Structure 1
């Protein structure tokens, strides 16, 4: 895309030699033999490996541990995603090895110290894209970021494999050469006034001129607005032989006349014209045209390959997730799986017993309306420390005093009643 050298792409699409793997590793900043050393023996057939096999080996984790925080400050999964994105772009001839290397250098120049990616800002990304030798419309870039922002791994940051995907919508800067438009001394407007040069363009930088040009082109050409179509009268195609036979017979095709001319009415401008299709009669000079099929055999084979890859990913999804989990456990918690395997299994907990609600009897209202004196439970008596503190003895003494006072009162009352009865009897 940014380079015209044939050696910047693999010689065969979808096949990589040892030299291609070394160039890819060097473009990403790895040692030249880092990718080649991760391949298991017997995978290279005559020094060539297909892209499908590379994808499968990357999915199975042959490169993860070797690239995990070894040659850069990135994890193994991050580097695997980066290699997969590079293989995809090289298969589609979207980016070359030199473009990947320049993108790597520009990304490292603008990446923050926390190693979490470049800020997803239009100004900073335009500088990084310019450093790679590409150009893009700022409006198009902001629309792209607005659509892709929810799918970013890090919030507000762009990773290197996402930055490479962003370069596919850019164009090489060497394609553009912005020239200042100059007006001749005799040029006039439609009103008969002499035109003048716009001197405001002289104060703009070359980058601002290129950005304004790309924005205008994006608004008129690259936008997704549906253009307004005008309907016109379609004339049936006639061959040269049919025209010659008509001329020899004395009949020459006449141009179509509008209804307004035939009826003598005033012509009116209409925004649309009704077109009625007329079936054409076949003559001896008719030669049917063979139309090309909509889908070629390559498209059908590509669809089959995509279906096979999707089925393979669906089948290996659980295995890859299990392998990834075991790898993380072994890396971050060494020996955890062995200890968990020897640990006894916990006993099966019995389900809790269900408590049946007691049915309400008929005398519940009588019991609640006239409650009886509550007696302390034996459990409360054993757990209560009032006996130890002597509080119970004090209460019992007070109760005895109260009971003796009541008895004395009752005796005095009985004695007074007996005296009153005797006195009344004597009287």
Structure 2
């Protein structure tokens, strides 16, 4: 096959190629064999009608479309490989000439991966991010564990204060009328949590158990319910219970209860070690991200819109997954925030574009530096994946993974090698 590139500009390639008469005839015969059972012609059993008879009755072109569908994918792939193109979208196919006994002329238009003009990526200077663990960090972590191990007890007859956990009934009114969703009984509310409308919780501070309180608040302008935005509301609140959290003493006994250590000092040291590891990982991630952002700045590339749109769908899927991990789906999130999928996509678009741009530039640097991914590299990553997914039979997991497409893994390994190269050459100030 000989493919001819007509033009390549604005990340779109136009080329044509021929499908030989012999190859097209083979495809026509395959199309006939696959479809002959669909024809009923008097004098012939179903599925036994000769191809020539079918063509005489329905026209010689009867199997053309099916034959093109059979032969075109491989022919297209061969042409793309011959021309050294990297398509990023489905092609537009135009059959320029098709006639029995002659080669088929096919014209293709397709978006292709853009070319990158690389900057001086080996002379980058960036500010180094550093995080140091302080005594305050350790104490905050310790207090967090203390909070988790607190007991909820009755607060007695005292008034409400910040941090208390109340059981309340309430009914909300706007312009003297109750509104939908503004009524509840036996509701649990922690004062200071910020769960309710701004100003609601503060007006319960200093009140007593059994007291009925009129709480007057104004709904935010960005509130999800259209009919309540910016409206003033009065909530008639009855306080049924006032409870507080009793925290354990931060002593050696506490350390024994919540950890494997015998003393509070040993436990604090273990917290410091854990935080130092976390901060180290955080530093590494942020320094790498800043390095990639700098590389993006100094390199030139024009991204096809179709690549951004494709990544945008991935970003939306990841966002939906994160929402589900928090107990709501995408549709519920859109209702709560009074937004649409399109508006959310616009928010995610800059991130999608940055990811595509970064991936393309890292790939270009990898090619410029002749970075290769070895079988050993892949095996190491598969072993890490097996450990991450807690696979008992690690060898079987790796064997199963190797049966599939591992291009995603090769890309990730290449990108990481490029990042290591960039770090080795960068000057961190």
Greater Rg by CA: 1
TM over 0.5: no
Q: Structure 2 length normalisation: TM-score?
A: 0.16
**Larger strand percent:** 2
Query: Relative contact order (C-alpha < 8 Å, sep 6+): which is higher?
Result: 2
